[in-house]
Every structure is written in C-alpha cells, then in structure tokens.
Amino acid sequence: MVGVVVRRFFQLILLLIGISFLVFTSMYIAPGDPAAIIAGPTASQADIDAIREDLGLNDPFLVQYGRYMNGLLHGDLGYSYQTKQPVWDAIATRFPNTLKLAIASIIVAVIIGVVAGIISAIRQNSWFDVSSTIFALAGISIPNFWLGTVLILIFAVNLQLLPVGGLDAPFYTAEGLKQLVLPAITLGTGSAAMIARMSRSSMLEVIRADFIRTARAKGVRERTVIWVHALRNAMIPVITVIGLNFGFLLGGTIITEQVFAINGVGRLMVQAIAARDFPMVQGSVLLVATLFVLVNLIVDIIYTFIDPRISYD
C-alpha cells in the first residue's frame, strides 16, 4: 500500500517537471522580447541589451530553464512585466478567493448532483427523472458565463437579493456567504449535471445487484437499503467523476471570476494573457495545472481505499 503511494508520488514529481517544462517552453517560444517589454517603448537599444544581459536572456535555453526551476524551488516565480512586483505575491493574495469559489461550487455540485441522480434512479422514468435528465443535458450546454450573467440579472439587478460581485467579505459572514451563492451556483451547475448523470446510471446498476435483493428479502427497510447499502456502492464511480470534474471546475473558475469580478487567480491569468505578461501567465498556469494534478492524485488514492475490490495498481 505504501508502495503505491510512493510510486504515485514519483509519477507526480515527473508530471510536475513535465508541466513546468511545457509552460516554460511555451513562454520561451512566444513572440515578443521580454527585455523590450520591460524597458518600455521609449528605451534605446542599448538599454534593452543591458536588460537582456541582466535578466540572463542571452543564455542558452537549458540554462534559462535550470534557473527557472531553481527559482521555483525557492518560491521565486519571477516578476510581473506589468506591475514589476513578484508573481508569487500576486498569486498568493488571490489564491484564497479562487479556492473559496472552487470549494463552494464543488459542494453545491455534489449535493445537487448526487441527490438528483439518486432520486432519478429510484423513480426511473418518472417526470422527475425525465425532467432532470433534460436539465442535466441543458446544464452541460449552458455557457456558464451566460448563466452567471442571467443569475446576476435576476437576483442582483431585479430582485436585489444578492450582491452583484466581488468576494471580499470573509466566508463565515452573512455578507460573504451571499457573495458566494451566485458564483457557486453558476460554476456548480455544469458539474452537478455530470455528477447527476453518473449517479443515476451508477445507482441504476447497483439497485439491480444481488446483494440489494438479498437485503430486501431479509426485510431491511427500503430506506436503509437505498441510502445505506446502495448508496455506498453507487458512490464509487461517482467519486471518480467528482475528481475529474474538479478539472472542469478549475477551468470554470477562470470564467466565473470574470463574470462576478472576483479577484482570483483565474482573472489574474486572463489579464496576464491579454497583456502578454509572461511570468504571470507562467506562474498562474503552473499553479492551476499543479492543483489539478494533485487533486487527481488524491482522488486516485481515495479510490483505491474506498473500493476493496480494487487491488493496488
């Protein structure tokens, strides 16, 4: 068991190295001279050359990559072209907001998705089942930035119930929670749809299983049969889906942050891409990719623990 975790850990390290290499190479080959950007439009060629030398941009590729990796290990992600401030600071201040949004959305998605999926499975082909299937399909198709905008329109503009955007209040206050509601629903809907689909099909399979028949024959209450026995087994593939959805969610935070003007890493990344601020792009993309890989790894490990039928890799 420990061997599996250790092996996965090494795979993770390799993957992270690969990701950093890919991100670094992407920024390296991107057109645009960093020295010229930093120097500004009024600098002379001599200034630009001096900056090039200073930043070590004339060194061969591998040397630059090595320096970058060395910086990574020490927490130095370089300096933004726009603000001239350390990239790490900018990302670190914004990261909690993104995390708040992601966690709130996953909670919303799991609760809605699992409950809807299970009820659909229990009452198969009822109006609930049919309508939630269509909702699920619609949920994957709705552009979440549009859903967010429409929700803002209804709840913030017309009904004036919830704030329009921002995430500055701490999450344990009423104001903070109110700020989280719309973004979490916006982001969670797509995932809820996928989770509902998966829960439904998984639950349908489990309900037909022999051990469920046995439990019923033994006289166990239907409630217990469903919510204890069937649920536990049906959740196994659902957990994988939830883990996979986390990636989808991470991509979604980028857009949702834009809609609700939340100061998170996603918004930072978009601004950096538009402004061709390469160190910032590098840093934020690296962070998101690393997070994604980590979560997948954790889901994988949880999966091996939960399903006793699965032997270690």
Partner 1 sequence: METGAAVNTGHTTVGLGRKKEKMYVTTIKRLLKNRLAVVGLIIIAIQVLMAIFAPWLATHDPVKQNLAAAELPAFSEGHWLGTDNYGRDIWSRIVYGARISLVVGIVSVSLGLIGGVALGLLAGYYKKLDGLIMRIVDLLFAFPGILLAMLIIAILGTGLINVAIAISIWSIPTCARIVRGSVLSVKKREYILAMKALGASNARIIIKHILPNCLAPIIVFATMRMATAILSTASLSYLGLGAQPPTPEWGAMIAAGQAFMWTSPHMTIVPGIAIMLVVFAFNVVGDGLRDALDPNMDINQ
Rounded CA-CA distance 295/108 in Å is: 18
Cβ contacts of 260 within 8 Å, gap of 6 or more: 148, 152, 164, 165, 166, 167, 182, 183, 186
Q: Give whichever of 131 and 224 is closer to partner 1, judged by the CB atom.
A: 131
Q: x/- contact string, 84-123, with partner 1 (CB under 8 A)?
A: ----------------------------------------
* Strand locations in 83-168 (E): none
| Conformational region of residue 125, where left means phi above 0, alpha means psi within -120 to 50, and beta covers everything else | left
At 191, the amino acid letter reads S
The answer to whether residue 13 forms part of the interface with partner 1 (CB under 8 A) is: no
Per-residue binding letters, 119-138, with partner 1 (x by CB under 8 A): ---------------x--xx
Q: Which of 246, 265, 268, 283 binds partner 1 (CB under 8 A)?
A: 246
How many residues of this chain interact with partner 1, rule: CB under 8 A?
A: 49
Q: Which of 152, 167, 203, 207 binds partner 1 (CB under 8 A)?
A: 152
3-state SS assignment for residue 33: coil
**CA 37 to chain CA mean position, Å:** 31
Element (H, E) at 29: helix 2-29
Q: Is 145 in the site for partner 1 (CB under 8 A)?
A: yes
Handedness of CA 168, 249, 259, 269 (dihedral sign): positive
Q: Pattern 31-60, binding to partner 1, x per CB under 8 A?
A: x-----------------------------
- Among 115, 140, 177, 209, indicate the residue that binds partner 1 (CB under 8 A): 140
Question: Considering beta carbons, is residue 67 or 276 the nearer one to partner 1?
Answer: 276
- Collapse the DSSP code of 303 into the 3-class scheme (helix H, G, I; strand E, B; otherwise coil) and give the result: helix
Q: Decide if residue 165 touches partner 1 (CB under 8 A).
A: no
The answer to the question of residue 270 lying near partner 1 (CB under 8 A) is yes
Residue from 137, 148, 146 nearest 186 by CA: 148
What are the backbone angles phi and psi of residue 140, rounded to the nearest 5°? -75, -25
Contacting positions for partner 1 (CB under 8 A): 15, 18-19, 22-23, 26-27, 29-31, 134, 137-138, 140-143, 145-147, 149-150, 152-153, 157, 246-252, 254-255, 258-259, 269-270, 272-274, 276, 278, 281, 285, 288-289, 292-293
